[in-house]
Amino acid sequence: MVENCNAPCCVNCETRWDNFNNLNEDDLNYVCENRHIAEFQPGEIIFKQGAPISSAVFLTKGIAKMYIEGFDNKRMIIGIAKQNKLIAGPGTYVDERHHYTVSALTDVTACFIKMDVLKGFVHTNGKFAEGWLKDISEKSLKTFYRFLSHTQKKMHGRLAETILYLADEVHGSDQFTMLLSRQELGELSGMAKESVVRILKDFNEDKIIDDKCPYIKILNKDRLKMISNMG
Amino acid sequence: MVENCNAPCCVNCETRWDNFNNLNEDDLNYVCENRHIAEFQPGEIIFKQGAPISSAVFLTKGIAKMYIEGFDNKRMIIGIAKQNKLIAGPGTYVDERHHYTVSALTDVTACFIKMDVLKGFVHTNGKFAEGWLKDISEKSLKTFYRFLSHTQKKMHGRLAETILYLADEVHGSDQFTMLLSRQELGELSGMAKESVVRILKDFNEDKIIDDKCPYIKILNKDRLKMISNMG
DNA sequence: TTTAAGCATTGATATTTATCAATACGCAGG
DNA sequence: CCTGCGTATTGATAAATATCAATGCTTAAA
């Protein structure tokens, strides 16, 4: 982890949290003063499940995986963190503990902002409070639907969904470098790593994707969507 | 559904939302004026997935099931609604639509409060906003852990967890009338109804529970907890 | 260049879980 | 008291999925 104190101010930040649009320039400068920036290398832990939440975390560069360490040392990856999003999770207003671990998948620059500062705005700025409610609600809904799909879809559907998630929500492209191992893909889609391998092979043979080691390309997105929807 | 306009005011309501403690008497009277009370019989739908959210809903009497209607007409029961809790879900600040259906399990009295009224308090009352954030966060966390257990636990663990949930969180007693059918227990714990039957039989034979048709009694709670924890 | 470590792949097998079909049970209406 | 209907139960079977073991592949350190 490397400190870096020469980052531009939040006022003009391109990668800041959407909800910061509800703050004025003075507010943003105040945020800036209570901020702390650090860099991480792939594999490094940004924060750890169970640790107290002192700061809100935002990524300004790179992506990270968020995972719960569950029973039996099994992990469940709940999503990929990226810029413009608050990464601090639902513990903030419950027990002030992180409920999942976040670790860098690429080189990551992360911005830590004292949680007390953000909590303060909730008291004085209704729009900001509303924005935060909206933020949590959206995440909650997403968790919901991932839950539903895990409960009701079979493996092919879940993996198709995961590939679409990576393409659409994480990389914004149908062709990207796969940063997750088979093990991690399994943790994200709820199956054993061997199952991931076999299903990717199926998708390859059916020319739905082209999976050449570190690169993956979606060849037949409609088909992939159909598989995802039908389970 | 039966209307009932002679209910006591929110100011002294015993079953009101915890977050109403952050409102003063004037606020509460205002809430009261924008309220609407109705009664439901078992099986009746209180609100429906996909319908627009115009009001926040609270139960003042009885319990109800909240379920998502998913792929293939399969249902996932996400929890049992009861008093003191906001039942309106995460759609409020996202798309103003209900994302699940709620239907009465017992005779239910429900209180509908115009959502605009509550949203208004968020702008003017920081404590109230914070309370709402806390409310959503808690629910979100619960969904999280249910998700985790569905992904990682096997059927016995999931059903044990469900029985503990019903005892501790819904009925507040280790002995209660089972209001859910085997089908519904399956929808709540993510398995086929036949599997519910078989596992309940196992638990009965092992003297962990005593399941006499409409009544159920936990005989060995430690054991049940262990099964729930170990998966 | 060799070696070791970790990840990916594959096949065989075991486990878990759902589905199907048949029957039993309980209860409301005639 | 019978009848029908929905739910519960049970057993047999099939499908889905995990686990285990062996092997190959890639890469980084010695």
- Residue B231 confidence (pLDDT) above 90: no
**CA separation, residue A90 to residues A135, A143, A169, A188 (Å):** 11, 12, 21, 19
Q: Please count the residue pairs, one from chain A and one from chain B, whose beta carbons lie less than 8 angstroms apart.
A: 133
Q: Which residues contact A17 (CB under 8 A, 6 or more apart)?
A: A56, A58, A84, A85, A86, A135
Q: pLDDT averaged over chain A?
A: 94
In a domain, A220, yes or no: yes
Q: Which nucleotides of D are covered by protein (CB under 7 A)?
A: 7-12, 16-21
CATH code assigned at A31: 2.60.120.10
In a domain, B132, yes or no: yes
Per-residue pLDDT tens digits for B113-130: 999 999 999 999 999 999
Nearest chain B residue to A132 by CA: give it.
B133
Q: How far apart are CA B67 and CA B76, in angstroms?
A: 5
Average confidence (pLDDT) over A210-230: 94
- In this complex, the residue of B92, B132, B143 whose CB is nearest that of residue A144 is B143
Q: Do A133 and B132 touch (CB under 8 A)?
A: yes
Q: Yes or no: say if A93 and B133 are a contact pair by the CB < 8 Å rule.
A: yes
Interatomic CA–C1' length for residue B149 and nucleotide D17, angstroms: 17
Q: What share of chain B is helix, strand, coil (3-state, %, to 5)?
A: 45, 25, 30
Per-residue pLDDT tens digits for A116-125: 999 999 999 9
Q: Do A123 and B139 touch (CB under 8 A)?
A: no
Q: Do B123 and A123 touch (CB under 8 A)?
A: no
In a domain, A148, yes or no: no
Per-residue pLDDT tens digits for B129-142: 999 999 999 999 99
Residue B161: per-residue pLDDT: 97
Q: Do B129 and A130 touch (CB under 8 A)?
A: yes
In this prediction, what percent of chain B has a pLDDT beyond 90? 89
Claim to verify: residue B107 and residue B36 sit in the same structural domain:
yes
Nucleotide minimizing C1' to CA distance for residue A195: D17
Residue B72: per-residue pLDDT: 79
Claim to verify: residue B89 and residue B195 sit in the same structural domain:
no
Q: Yes or no: say if A94 and B141 are a contact pair by the CB < 8 Å rule.
A: yes
Per-residue pLDDT tens digits for A54-107: 999 999 999 999 999 987 789 999 999 999 999 988 899 999 999 999 999 999
B116-135 burial, b if ≥16 CB within 10 A, otherwise e? ebbbbbbeebbebbbbbbbb
- Does A95 contact strand D, using a CB cutoff of 7 Å? no
Q: Which residues contact B24 (CB under 8 A, 6 or more apart)?
A: none
In a domain, B146, yes or no: no
In this prediction, what percent of chain A has a pLDDT beyond 70? 97
- In this complex, the residue of A70, A74, A93 whose CB is nearest that of residue B133 is A93
- Does B154 contact strand D, using a CB cutoff of 7 Å? no
- A8 vs B11, higher pLDDT: B11
Claim to verify: residue A11 and residue A117 sit in the same structural domain:
yes
Tokens found for residue A41: 């290398």
Last residue of a domain, one of A143, A161, A178: A143
Distance from CA of B78 to the nearest CA of A (A): 9
A-proximal residues of B, 168-197, CB under 8 Å: 190
Q: Which residues numbered 174-193 in chain B sit less than 7 A from strand D, measured from CB?
A: 181-183, 193
Range of the domain at B91: 2-141
Residue A219: per-residue pLDDT: 97
Count up the domains in chain A and report the number: 2
Q: Which residues numbered 194-213 in chain B sit less than 7 A from strand D, measured from CB?
A: 194, 197-198, 200-201, 211
Interatomic CA–C1' length for residue B111 and nucleotide D22, angstroms: 64
In a domain, B148, yes or no: no
pTM of the predicted model over 0.95: no
B54-64 burial, b if ≥16 CB within 10 A, otherwise e? ebbbbbbebbb
Per-residue pLDDT tens digits for B14-23: 999 999 999 9
Claim to verify: residue B116 and residue B92 sit in the same structural domain:
yes
Nucleotide minimizing C1' to CA distance for residue B213: D8
Q: Yes or no: say if B19 and B135 are a contact pair by the CB < 8 Å rule.
A: yes
Strand order through the sheet with A35-40: A2-3, A35-40, A108-114, A55-61
CATH code assigned at A207: 1.10.10.10
Residue B25: per-residue pLDDT: 94
Q: Yes or no: say if B39 and B109 are a contact pair by the CB < 8 Å rule.
A: yes
**CA separation, residue B205 to residues B173, B201, B202, B208, B213 (Å):** 22, 6, 5, 8, 15
Q: Return the closest-CA partner of residue A148 out of B87, B187, B93.
A: B187
The answer to whether B3 contacts chain A (CB < 8 Å) is no
Phi, psi of B141, deg, nearest 5: -60, -40
Last residue of a domain, one of B114, B141, B168: B141
Claim to verify: residue B20 and residue B119 sit in the same structural domain:
yes
Per-residue pLDDT tens digits for A143-154: 999 999 999 999
Claim to verify: residue B110 and residue B175 sit in the same structural domain:
no
- Residue A1 confidence (pLDDT) above 60: no
Claim to verify: residue B13 and residue B72 sit in the same structural domain:
yes
Q: pLDDT averaged over chain B?
A: 94
A182 CB-contact burial (10 Å; exposed 0-12 / middle 13-18 / buried 19+): middle
In a domain, B84, yes or no: yes
Claim to verify: residue B118 and residue B157 sit in the same structural domain:
no
Q: Do A72 and B231 touch (CB under 8 A)?
A: yes
Interatomic CA–C1' length for residue B75 and nucleotide D3, angstroms: 32
Claim to verify: residue B173 and residue B207 sit in the same structural domain:
yes
Q: Yes or no: say if B45 and B110 are a contact pair by the CB < 8 Å rule.
A: no
A-proximal residues of B, 132-171, CB under 8 Å: 132-134, 136-141, 143-144, 146-148, 150-153
Q: Yes or no: say if A40 and A108 are a contact pair by the CB < 8 Å rule.
A: yes
Last residue of a domain, one of A143, A165, A182: A143
Claim to verify: residue B134 and residue B104 sit in the same structural domain:
yes
Per-residue pLDDT tens digits for B26-77: 999 999 999 999 999 999 999 999 999 999 999 999 999 999 998 778 999 9
Interatomic CA–C1' length for residue B150 and nucleotide C16, angstroms: 14
Claim to verify: residue B25 and residue B132 sit in the same structural domain:
yes
Residue A73: per-residue pLDDT: 81
Task: Estimate to the nearest angstrom the gap between the alpha carbon of A10 and the chain centroid.
Answer: 21
Place of tokens 């191992």: A181
The answer to whether A119 contacts chain B (CB < 8 Å) is yes
Q: Do B126 and A130 touch (CB under 8 A)?
A: no
Q: Do A139 and B140 touch (CB under 8 A)?
A: yes
Strand B108-114 relative to strand B101-104: parallel, antiparallel, unpaired?
A: unpaired
- Residue B6 confidence (pLDDT) above 80: no
Residue whose CA is minimally distant from D16 C1': A154
Q: Which residues contact A74 (CB under 8 A, 6 or more apart)?
A: A187, B152
Residue B7: per-residue pLDDT: 63
In a domain, B54, yes or no: yes
Per-residue pLDDT tens digits for B175-201: 999 999 999 999 999 999 999 999 999
- Residue A6 confidence (pLDDT) above 70: no
In a domain, A174, yes or no: yes
- The three-state secondary structure class of A106 is coil
Q: Return the closest-CA partner of residue B164 out of B179, B148, B176, B153.
A: B176
Q: How far apart are CA A189 and CA B109, in angstroms?
A: 40
Claim to verify: residue B90 and residue B133 sit in the same structural domain:
yes
- A10 vs A59, higher pLDDT: A59
Q: Do B93 and A230 touch (CB under 8 A)?
A: no
DSSP string, A52-69: B--EEEEEEES-EEEEEE
